[in-house]
Amino acid sequence: MGSPTTGPDLDLTSFEDSQAVDLVNRWLAVKQAVDAISNHTKTAYQNDLLDFLRFLTLYDGAQLSATRLKNLTIRDIRAWMADLRQDATPRSVARKLSSVKSFYRWFGKHANFEPTAVLSARAPKFNAKLPRPLTETTAKAVVETVEVQHDTPWVAARDVAVVTLLYGCGLRISEALSLKGKDLPIKDSLRILGKGNKERFVPVIPAAREAVNTYLDLMPFETSHDSVIFRGVRGGPLSPRIIQKTLQSTRLQLGLPATATPHALRHSFATHLLSAGGDLRAIQELLGHASLSTTQAYTGVDADRLMSVYNKTHPKAR
């Protein structure tokens, strides 16, 4: 048979009213309430599950009932993954399978059955994509060059402040742009609400504090307790895309590769701290990572380097 996802458009009238979609919506509500997933993560999960349900409908024309989902076979899963591999990368297929497995773990407990066919499916192998931090010299050059990308002084100061927070404090761009008037004045540390509403405190270097204060002195809009600090030229919340475009202009001017993104500055923060002797656990806390392995990959640390640090510092190893 042909690829189910490349056939005629699915009639969504019955699809959206199906038991299966209702189950997915209930699962998403649980994920948001219990795991505090972000709206972005919720949308990603939703898209993955709805695409999976569309495949099942086009694959065999069966009604999307709870019974249909409970009776899923390994053959169904393999057909779905084979269809995905026609257009998606192994990494994307693995992510979508992870979403479906997460749903089925909840569904299995909810409906009292063992979703063995789904949970036993193996994700395709792929090479983990390690981040590419900038060198210390390059990171400093980026911060300095950002300022000349705009002729309007307060806009230039704004972008310098944001970029300095990314590199100087290791913030995600969404975290920097979420800072509000209640976070002012910027002191020695910032309370950050990261992914999954996990709270952490990050130290603020003087350069970042000064950059934010310079921006606030020049910014033409009033800042209230609940309004965001960083504004667009018309006064609305600053879009991450604006900072991304500014970094794009900056890297073109400096002759840097496309990997020199706002997120690369956060990678650089972690890597440079570690190179200066920072503790991996402490860096994990500063970044807000749930897993140390995430921080290890984030900083490009390999097993040999970890063993070298261990052998030099552990009392029993000396």
Domain that holds residue 156: 136-267
Lowest mean pLDDT among 223-237, 268-282, 297-311: 297-311
Mean local confidence (pLDDT), 204-209 = 90
- Are 9 and 102 in a shared domain? yes
Overall domain count for the chain: 2
Same domain (yes/no): 159, 78: no
Answer yes or no: is pLDDT of 49 > 70. Answer: yes
Please check whether residues 185 and 92 belong to one and the same domain.
Answer: no
Sorting pLDDT into bands at 50, 70 and 90, what band is 289? low
pLDDT tens, residue by residue, 240-255 = 999 999 999 999 999 9
Residue 84 lies in a domain: yes
In this structure, are 143 and 258 located in the same domain? yes
Domain shared by 81 and 190, yes or no: no
In a domain, 286, yes or no: no
In a domain, 190, yes or no: yes
Q: Would 175 be classed as within a structural domain?
A: yes
- Residue 114's pLDDT is 92
Whether residue 263 lies inside any domain: the answer is: yes
The answer to whether residues 179 and 257 belong to one domain is yes
- Residue 246 resides in a domain: yes
Active-site residues: which are they?
Answer: 172, 195, 263, 266, 289, 298
In this structure, the answer to whether residues 62 and 164 fall within a common structural domain is no
Q: Are 9 and 108 contained in the same domain?
A: yes
74 and 166 inside one domain: no
Q: What is the DSSP string of the chain?
A: ---GGGSSPP-HHHHHTSHHHHHHHHHHHHHHHHS---HHHHHHHHHHHHHHHHHHHHHH-----HHHHHT--HHHHHHHHHHHTTTS-HHHHHHHHHHHHHHHHHHHHHHT---HHHHTPPPPP-------PPPHHHHHHHHHHHGGG-SSHHHHHHHHHHHHHHHHH---HHHHHT-BGGGPSP-SEEEEE-GGG-EEEEE--HHHHHHHHHHHHH--S---TTSBSSB-TTSSBPPHHHHHHHHHHHHHHHT--TT--HHHHHHHHHHHHHHTT--HHHHHHHHT-S-HHHHHHHTT--HHHHHHHHHHH-GGG-
316 domain residue, yes or no: no
Per-residue confidence (pLDDT) for residue 168, from 0 to 100 = 86
| pLDDT score at 8 | 35
Indicate if 45 and 148 belong to the same structural domain: no
Same-domain status, 219 and 112: no
- CATH for 209: 1.10.443.10
Q: Are residues 140 and 240 in the same domain?
A: yes
